[in-house]
A and B are shown apart, each in its own frame.
Chain A
Amino acid sequence: MWSGMKTRGGDGAAQAPASKMIEQRHSEMRTDARRKSDPSLDEARLRQQAIGVKLRQMFDQVVNEPVPDEFLDILKRADANKSGRD
Chain B
Amino acid sequence: MEAQQHKDSAADPAREAAFKAELVALIPHLRAFARTLAGDPTSADDLAQDAMMKAWDARASYQMGTNMKAWTFMILRNQFYSEKRRSWRQTQLDQEAAERTLVAVDDPEAPVALDELRLGLSMLPAEQREALILVGAGGFAYEEAADICGCAVGTVKSRVSRARRALQGILEAGNYKRDGASASDAMRTILADAERLSALR
The answer on a CB contact under 8 Å between A48 and B56 is no
The answer on a CB contact under 8 Å between A51 and B168 is yes
Binding site of B, secondary structure by majority: helix, strand, loop or mixed? helix
The answer on a CB contact under 8 Å between A59 and B36 is yes
Q: Which residue of chain A has the shortest Cβ distance to B1 in the bound complex?
A: A85
Binding site for A on B (CB under 8 A): 1, 3-6, 8, 11, 16, 20, 23-24, 27-29, 31-32, 35-36, 45, 48-49, 52-53, 56-57, 103, 105-107, 110, 113-114, 117-118, 132-133, 135-139, 141-142, 154-155, 157-158, 160-162, 164-168, 171-172, 187, 190-191, 193-195, 197-198
Q: Does A50 interact with chain B (Cβ within 8 Å)?
A: yes
Q: How many residues in A have their beta carbons less than 8 Å from beta carbons of B?
A: 48
Number of A-B residue pairs with CB-CB distance less than 8 Å in the complex they form: 145
Q: Which of A15, A58, A67 contacts B31 (CB 8 A)?
A: A67
The answer on a CB contact under 8 Å between A75 and B23 is yes
Tell me, rounded to whole Å, the shortest Cβ–Cβ distance linking A28 to chain B. 9
Cα A48 to Cα B162 in complex, Å, equals: 12
